Structure 1
Amino acid sequence: MVVKQSMFCFQCEQTMQGIACEHGGVCGKTVETANLQDDLIGALIGLAKVVPAGSTSDPLARLVLDGLFTTLTNVNFDDPAIQAILDKVEAAATDVEIYDMNKIWHAENEDIRSLKTLTLLGLKGMAAYAHQAAVLGYIDATVDNFFLNALRTLGNDNASQEELLALTMKTGKVNFTAMKVLDQANTEVYGNPQPTEVPLTIEPGPFIVISGHDLYDLKQLLEQTAGKGINVYTHGEMLPAHGYPELKAYPQLKGNFGTAWQNQQKEFKRIPAPILFTTNCIMPVGKTYHDRVYTTSVVGYPDMVHIGADKDFSPLIDQALELGGYTEPQEMTGINGGHTVTTGFGHKFVLDHADTVVKAVKDGDLKHIILVGGCDGARVGRNYYTQFVEDSPENTLILTCACGKYRFNDMNLGTVAGLPRMMDMGQCNDAYSAIKVALALADAFDCEVNDLPLDIVLSWYEQKAVSVLLTLLALGIKNIYLGPTLPAFVSPHILDYLKENFALTPISTAKADLARILTPQM
């Protein structure tokens, strides 16, 4: 890699000045790391060009997933680890040439740039889902082959706008398959999620905090801590693990530590326990806890101990016992002061109660269903989602998934039609559950999804949210509210297309948007 003095990255919601990070990432990655990640993506495009279409082998597919996943926001900051994957990509086939990513980032036609970026970021998000399923042995040849086909098109400097628009929609369609495969993997291995109340209090004694959403890593950690007097607490994207029967059966899986991912630097400060990151989102590690952070899988950070493929978590276990944890219970709370949160409302639970939902709508007891989902982040304006849920009337049902729920998931909204008014369906990788529920309700009401008393209000931060949005669009789902800001990589013309064809709407104020959603359309 030729070291450059600048970078170009606009893949996350908090990109500098809403335009692009050019002298260091807001996420904390350096110019060198950003350019190395660009080289990795360029090498994957180069690999796609020399591999015959439809001939993806399993090792090659896993390499592509690892490469794409590694470049997601807040996943890997460790240059040697990124270089090692880059070396593997270049060695995977002869004549691999690194594609110059500046041809995309600085394309003269901003609509071409916009569509290529939408597809690339959708591929990155999809790689996270496919990676987690593959860890459990669940793969789909259609998904694997699509990655290389899409990368091949991204490297075509003569691809037309029409071709790229079709590819963008195809990315959303294939991502739906990837999420379906991941849902199958998690439910067949760990059981169907069950509604579970999760305490936020940390009990006395040794403990380990595990973040990310790789359930396999959690299972290995639970097996290795069994009978050792060490409690395990989830963090961030790992919260939904508490709903899976095979995981909640471990008595040492006690509760959830802290709130959303962007608060980790404050919340991890001086805790007497090790922290394990299994996927994103790791932030720059503070000096007060850097000696207690471990990474595994595709996650990497300079000078942190990395747990390899053998998943030997002995270093964490030994350190947890040495540190000893707290001597008294720590009464932690959510953003709104709640002491517990509830998760585990997967599609099976909701659809098992579909008759109740349908009857409540027909009887007028339930007026509207609103999915408030997506990422959380630190940018000013995300209190919109808290206000939106807080102001939603008692005859509405709130479904939620992904880290944005940490803004309001400790609220007690009561019940509607005998069901909890707020149902946490999991993380962004569980968005399949929400989509499956919407499609099933449309069948139950004998109507189109867009005719249901259902609206979607999304917050986005990184690439997994992009892939979910593309899936919703590919399924023809309209009237989606998106915020807190619009992506810098979407050009005015492409935004106009999305508004005109899908009624994609930038959020305004919680009060105004809620009123518009709840007002019957003529």
Structure 2
Amino acid sequence: MEEMFCFQCQQTAHNTGCEGHTGVCGKKSDTANLQDELTGELIRLARAVTENERSRSSDELMLKGLFTTITNVNFNSDTVKKLSDEIREEAENRKPGKDAYNVQKIWEASEDIRSLKSLILFGLRGTAAYAYHAWALGYVDAEIMNFFYKGMRILGEEKGMEELLPVVIETGKINLRCMELLDKANTESYGDPIPTEVPLTIEKGPFIVVSGHDLHDMKLLLEQTKDKGINIYTHSEMLPAHGYPKLKEYSHLKGNFGTAWQSQQFEFHNIPAPILFTTNCLMPVRQSYADRVFTTSVVSYPEMVHIGADKDFTPVIAKALECGGYSEDHPMTGINGGTTVMTGFAHNAVLENAGKIVDLVKQGKIRHFFLIGGCDGAAPGRSYYTEFAKKTPMDTIILTLACGKYRLNDLRLGEIEGIPRILDMGQCNDAYSAIKVAMALAEAFGCEVNELPLSMILSWYEQKAVAILLTLLALGIKNIYLGPTLPAFVSPNVLNYLVQEYQITPISTVDEDLKKILG
């Protein structure tokens, strides 16, 4: 088996890169190398498609191809190869005779060029995930799609640092536009999220656990399980589904199962119910629940049942009835022992209270805002985010989002005149909500975002977090605290540029960082 090289996620071996025959994520080298080949085919497709030659089929292949290569999405060499073949055929039909690009040229380039091209590629992968979710709801933006082709073409060209840096920032700008598009798709389809308390207890009887991010898949499953005596529970990043009014109408959408994605191997141990994975955050499946795992969309794992494009969830429903669920109510807790969590504090819900929040700041009752969130993971250093939340003063507000919220979302930190001190804004793509709130507050105070009493304490894991970081940089947002480690693919020169230009700071200790922020 040929060896691999991959350094696109935070858990990469020794914080330098996964090599050998298996990555830390559990992906085998043959699958990882096929994903590199798929990326090369996407570059060939981008070269074959000009701005006026895009089509629905080429757009779908571009999005699916990029999304497939995100960490913890696809562990199946067969499906990766099949998708590569489809992309190759699409490119060949447009410009015959052009070879696929060899992605090894990126990994073997000088470290600064490799670093900048990695930022672009990984950013494009993250943005593609958001674009794919919007696509599933019928929302497409030509400017966003055109940039995928442009960005992939640039990856296959000889470019210097001065040419690549603007593309890195443009990737962040496009991701902001894409998150805005997805926000529109979700809210027009399911309504504006409303604050909702979600129980962590699993009621007795048949149930299905839904993991991932795709609200469209959730809606289809809810419709197909209506009146079948099966309860539906969210898992990890699907938690914010509880805040959407049109999903809340389904009385069998009951609560949330477990905590963040990286705990699934022991939380799913012998679970008496099926689990449906709709997007990334799938881990290597253990035997104790392997017969209950189902995948759909771009997610794929060897020997697991895959629900195709027809979205007929009959096999999942049959498995739920066969398993039967728990015989008695099954209580679960968050990592801090809480039995419920809140969600639904998206930009609409928060900005309805903007006047009150501004008044509380002016009265000195709210001293500071912290955005504590991002991707979660298994690294021990991630306990930093729980400790940070616990140590924030009582006159501060915590905004949180993405699966990083599971480090703190079951804490009971009280309220400030009716406003909860922890506000869960949603999934990782709902960083758009946090940005919109920050800009509204800046406008209310007549200042720049960087002048607000707001600090961003971010955790990263995979490529959607890279896309969001690039968006923050594109907006000129500075003084971001980033952890638990810095990306292995960022070279010293590029890191120095980011530190000087944007004051990105690696997290240190909670006490030191709080002292720096609050004085």
TM-score (norm: length of structure 2): 0.98
> Does structure 1 residue 388 correspond to structure 2 residue 385?
no
**Cα offsets for 1:258-315 (capped at 9, x unmatched):** 0110000000010100010000110000001000000000000000000001111111
Contact 1:47 / 1:96 at 8 angstroms: preserved in 2? no
Q: 1:11 corresponds to which residue?
A: 8
Aligned position for 2:80: 82
CA distance in 1, matches of 2:52, 2:500: 35
Return the alpha-carbon distance in structure 2 between the equivalents of residues 106 and 344 of structure 1. 45
Match of 1:169 in 2: 169
Deviation at 1:148, TM superposition (A): 0.4
User: How far 1:96 sits from its partner (Å)?
Assistant: 4.0
Counterpart CA distance in 1 for 2:492 and 2:366 is 38
1:300 aligns with 2:300: yes
Q: Note if contact 1:122-1:467 (Cα within 8 Å) is conserved in structure 2.
A: yes
The offset of 1:418, in angstroms, is 2.4
Q: Deviations over 1:7-33 (max 9, x none)?
A: 110000000111100111100110100
Matches of 1:329 and 1:68, distance apart in 2: 41
Q: In the alignment, which residue of structure 2 is the partner of 1:101?
A: 103
Q: Distance in 1 between matches of 2:505 and 2:357?
A: 27
2: CA distance between counterparts of 1:152 and 1:90? 15
Identify which of 43, 63, 71 aligns with 1:73: 71
Counterpart of 1:114 in structure 2 is: 115
The one-letter code of the counterpart of 1:102 is Q
Shift of 1:430: 0.9
Alignment of 1:210 with 2:210, yes or no, is yes
User: What residue in structure 1 maps to residue 17 of structure 2?
Assistant: 20
How far residue 50 of structure 1 moved from its aligned partner, in angstroms, is: 2.1
> Which residue matches 2:407?
407
8 Å CA contact 1:54, 1:145 repeated in 2:
no
Please report how far the alpha carbon of residue 379 of structure 1 lies from its aligned counterpart in structure 2 after TM superposition: 1.0
Query: 1:150: which partner in 2?
Result: 151
Structure 2 CA distance for aligned equivalents of residues 50 and 183 of structure 1: 31
Aligned residues of 2:8 and 2:122 also touching (Cα < 8 A): yes
What is the one-letter code of the residue matched to 2:123? G
> Per-residue deviation at 1:518?
1.1
Name the structure 2 match of 1:57.
55
Counting only pairs closer than 5 Å after superposition, residues 66-465 of structure 1 correspond to structure 2 as: 66-94=64-92, 95-107=97-109, 109-156=110-157, 158-465=158-465
Q: Secondary structure at the match of 2:423?
A: strand
Say if 2:44 and 2:91, in contact at 8 Å, map to a contact too.
Answer: no
Matches of 1:118 and 1:54, distance apart in 2:
27
Query: Aligned partners of 2:13 and 2:150: how far apart in 1?
Result: 32
| Counterpart Cα distance in 2 of 1:441 and 1:106 | 45
Are the counterparts in 2 of residues 73 and 463 from structure 1 also a CA contact under 8 Å? yes
In structure 2, the residue matched to 1:501 is 501
Residues 239 and 343, structure 1, Cα contact 8 Å, conserved in 2: yes
**CA positional deviation for 1:55:** 2.8
Find the aligned partners of 2:266 and 2:52 in 1 and give their Cα distance: 47
Measure the CA separation in 2 of the matches of 1:375 and 1:96.
38
Q: Deviations over 1:431-488 (max 9, x none)?
A: 1000011111111111100000011010000000000000000000001000000000
Give the whole-Å Cα distance in 2 for the aligned partners of 1:204 and 1:65: 39
Alpha-carbon offset, residue 502 of structure 1: 0.4
Q: Secondary structure at the match of 1:382?
A: helix
Partner amino acid for 1:52? T
Q: Match for residue 514 of structure 2?
A: 514
Does structure 2 conserve the Cα–Cα contact (< 8 Å) formed by 1:72 and 1:463? yes
User: Structure 1: how far apart are the matches of 2:98 and 2:78?
Assistant: 20
* Alignment check: 8 A CA contact 1:125 1:464 kept: yes
- How far apart in 1 are the matches of 2:98 and 2:41? 7
Q: Secondary structure at the match of 1:288?
A: coil
Q: Which amino acid aligns with 2:247?
A: L
Size of the aligned set, in residue pairs, is 514
Select between 509-518 and 451-460 the one with higher mean Cα deviation.
509-518
CA distance in 2, matches of 1:51, 1:254: 46
In 2, the alpha carbon distance for the partners of 1:96 and 1:347 equals 46
Secondary structure of the structure 1 residue equivalent to 2:10: coil
Check conservation: 1:90, 1:96, Cα contact below 8 A.
no
Q: What's the secondary structure of 2:455's corresponding residue? A: strand
How far apart in 1 are the matches of 2:192 and 2:17? 41
Partner-residue secondary structure (3-state), 1:381:
helix
Which residue identity is paired with 1:130?
A
- Structure 1's unaligned 5+ residue stretches are none
Amino acid at match of 1:316: V
In structure 2, the gaps of 5 or more residues are none
Per-residue CA shift, 1:210-259, capped at 9, x if unaligned?
A: 00010010001100110011000000110000000000110000000001
Return the alpha-carbon distance in structure 2 between the equivalents of residues 62 and 110 of structure 1.
32
| Distance of 2:299 and 2:330 partners within structure 1 | 29
Three-state SS of the structure 2 residue aligned to 1:22 is: strand
Which ranges of 4 or more aligned residues in structure 1 deviate by more than 4 Å?
none
Given residue 301 of structure 1, which amino acid in structure 2 is its aligned partner?
Y
Could you tell me how far apart the structure 1 residues matched to 2:397 and 2:98 are? 52
Whichever residue aligns with residue 12 of structure 1, its letter is C
Kept after mapping to 2: 8 A contact 1:449/1:477: yes
Aligned AA (1:507): I
CA distance in 2, matches of 1:206, 1:491: 50
| Residue identity opposite 1:189 in structure 2 | S
